[in-house]
Chain A
Amino acid sequence: MAETHLQATAPDRGFLTPREDYSGLFSWIFSTDHKRIGLLYFWSIVTFFLTGVTLGLLIRLELFLPGKTIVEAQTYNAMFTLHGVIMIFLFIIPGIPAAFGNLVLPIQIGAKDVAFPRLNLLSWWLYAIGAAMALGSLFSGGGAPDTGWTFYVPFSVQTTTNVSLAAFAVFILGFSSILTGLNFITTIHRMRAPGMSWGRLPLFIWSLYATAWVQVLATPILGITLALVLVERLLGTGLFDPTRGGDPIMFQHLFWIYSHPAVYIMVLPGMGVISDIIPVFARKPAFGYKAIAVSSIAIAAAGSLVWGHHMFTSGMSDMAVLVFSLLTFVVAIPSAVKVFNWVATLYKGSISLDPPLLFALSFILLFAIGGLTGLVLGAPATDVHVHDTHFVVGHFHYTMFGGTGMAFFAAMHYWLPKIYGRMYNKRIATIAWGLIFVGFNVLYLSMKVVGMQGMPRRYYDYIPEFTRLNQLATVGSWILGIGVFLMFFNLIRGTFRGQPVGDNPWGGATLEWTTSSPPPTENFEVDPVVTHGPYDFKAAGIL
Chain B
Amino acid sequence: MNPQIVSTTETVDFVFFFIFGISAIMLLGITAAMVYFVVRYNRKRHPHPTSDKASNLTLEVVWTVIPSILVMGMFYYGWAGYLALRNVPEGALVVKATGRMWSWSFEYANGKLSDKLYVPAGQPVKVDIHSTDVLHSFYIPAFRVKRDAVPGLESHVWFNAEQPGSYDIFCAEYCGVAHAAMISTVEALTPHEFEEWYRGEPAAAEADEGEALLTRFGCIGCHSLDGSKKVGPTFQGLFGSSREVLSAGQKRTLTADEEYLKRSILEPAADIVEGFPPAMPAYQGQISEFELEEIIEYFKRMAGAKKTQSLGEQLMLRQGCVGCHSTDGSKSVGPTLKGVFGRQVKVLRDGKELTIEADEQYLRQSLIQPQADQVQGYPPIMPTFGALPEEEIEALVEYLKTLQ
Chain A residues within CB distance 8 Å of chain B: 72-74, 77, 146-148, 152, 154-155, 158-159, 242-243, 247-249, 282-291, 312-315, 318, 321-322, 325-326, 329-330, 332-333, 336-337, 339-341, 343-344, 346-353, 361, 364-365, 368-369, 372-373, 375-376, 378-385, 387-389, 453-454, 456-463, 535, 538, 543
Contacts and interface: CB of A to CB of B under 8 A. Distances in A.
B139 interface: yes
A154 B148 CA distance: 13
A458 B174 contact: yes
A493 to B, nearest CB: 27
User: Which 8 A-B residue pairs are closest in the complex by CB-CB distance?
Assistant: A379-B78, A454-B141, A381-B81, A242-B152, A380-B82, A348-B51, A372-B23, A346-B37
A333 B168 contact: no
B47 A350 contact: yes
Contacts of A330: 71
Contacts of A538: 52
Nearest to B73: A329
A381 B15 contact: yes
Contacts of B96: none
Contact of B54 (A286, A314, A340, A379): A286
B146 A158 contact: no
B312 interface: no
Interface of B: 11-12, 15-16, 19-20, 23, 26-27, 30-31, 33-34, 37-38, 41-43, 46-55, 59-60, 63-64, 67-68, 71-72, 74-75, 77-86, 133-135, 137, 139, 141-142, 144-148, 150-153, 155, 168, 170-181, 183, 231, 333, 379, 381
Contacts of B86: 318
A338 B168 CA distance: 42
16 contacts: A72-B379, A147-B174, A242-B153, A248-B151, A248-B152, A314-B150, A315-B147, A318-B86, A348-B53, A379-B19, A379-B77, A379-B81, A384-B85, A388-B139, A456-B171, A462-B180
Contact of A242 (B20, B150, B175): B150
Contacts of B46: 348-351
Given A346-B38, A349-B37, A336 B63 contact: yes
Given A315-B147, A336-B63, A382 B42 contact: no
Nearest to A353: B38
Most central of B15, B142, B179 by chain A CB within 10 Å: B179
A154 B133 contact: yes
A315 B152 CA distance: 11
Contact of A336 (B67, B72, B179): B67
Contacts, number: 263
Most central of A315, A326, A379, A457 by chain B CB within 10 Å: A379
A361 B41 CA distance: 15
A152 B23 CA distance: 32
Most central of A73, A326, A369, A456 by chain B CB within 10 Å: A456
Given A372-B26, A454-B170, A287 B55 contact: yes
A368 B135 CA distance: 33
Given A289-B55, A368-B27, 14 more contacts: A73-B177, A77-B177, A146-B176, A248-B150, A325-B82, A333-B64, A347-B41, A348-B46, A349-B46, A379-B19, A381-B12, A381-B15, A382-B81, A384-B147
A388 B41 contact: no
A335 B155 CA distance: 35
B37 A329 contact: no
A294 to B, nearest CB: 11
A285 B49 CA distance: 10
Given A322-B79, A351-B38, A364 B43 contact: no
B146 A313 contact: yes
Contacts of A383: 78
Contacts of A340: 63
A326 B347 CA distance: 56
B387 to A, nearest CB: 12
Contact of B59 (A321, A326, A344, A352): A344
A288 B59 CA distance: 10
B38 A381 contact: no
Contacts of A288: 54-55, 60
A287 B59 CA distance: 11
A248 B173 CA distance: 13
Contacts of B170: 454, 456
Given A155-B176, A378-B78, A384 B55 contact: no
A457 B51 CA distance: 48
A339 B333 CA distance: 48
Nearest to B31: A365
Contacts of B43: 283, 350-352
Contact of A351 (B19, B27, B37, B79): B37
A329 B71 contact: yes
Contacts of A286: 54
Most central of A315, A376, A381 by chain B CB within 10 Å: A381
A285 B56 CA distance: 13
A189 B394 CA distance: 72
A281 B391 CA distance: 77
Contacts of B74: 329, 375, 378-379
A154 B174 contact: no
Given A384-B85, A454-B170, A285 B52 contact: yes
A352 B144 CA distance: 47
A361 B35 CA distance: 9
Contact of B53 (A155, A249, A287, A456): A287
A535 B176 CA distance: 52
Most central of B19, B55, B67, B78 by chain A CB within 10 Å: B78
Contacts of A382: 12, 15-16, 19, 78, 81
B48 to A, nearest CB: 5
B49 A349 contact: yes
Contacts of B168: 454, 463
B33 A343 contact: yes
Contact of A348 (B50, B71, B147): B50
B183 to A, nearest CB: 8
A361 B78 contact: no
Contacts of A375: 19, 23, 71, 74
A384 B79 CA distance: 11
Most central of A282, A336, A339 by chain B CB within 10 Å: A336
Most central of A72, A73, A243, A378 by chain B CB within 10 Å: A73
Nearest to A452: B16
B48 A543 contact: yes
A387 B157 CA distance: 15
A346 B41 contact: yes
A467 B171 CA distance: 19
Contacts of B173: 152, 388
Contacts of B85: 381, 384
Contacts of B137: 313, 388
A283 B49 contact: yes
A322 B75 CA distance: 9
A352 B133 CA distance: 59
A177 to B, nearest CB: 25
A89 to B, nearest CB: 18
A396 B129 CA distance: 28
A362 B72 CA distance: 28
Nearest to B81: A381
Contacts of A318: 82-83, 86
A389 B172 contact: yes
B379 A287 contact: no
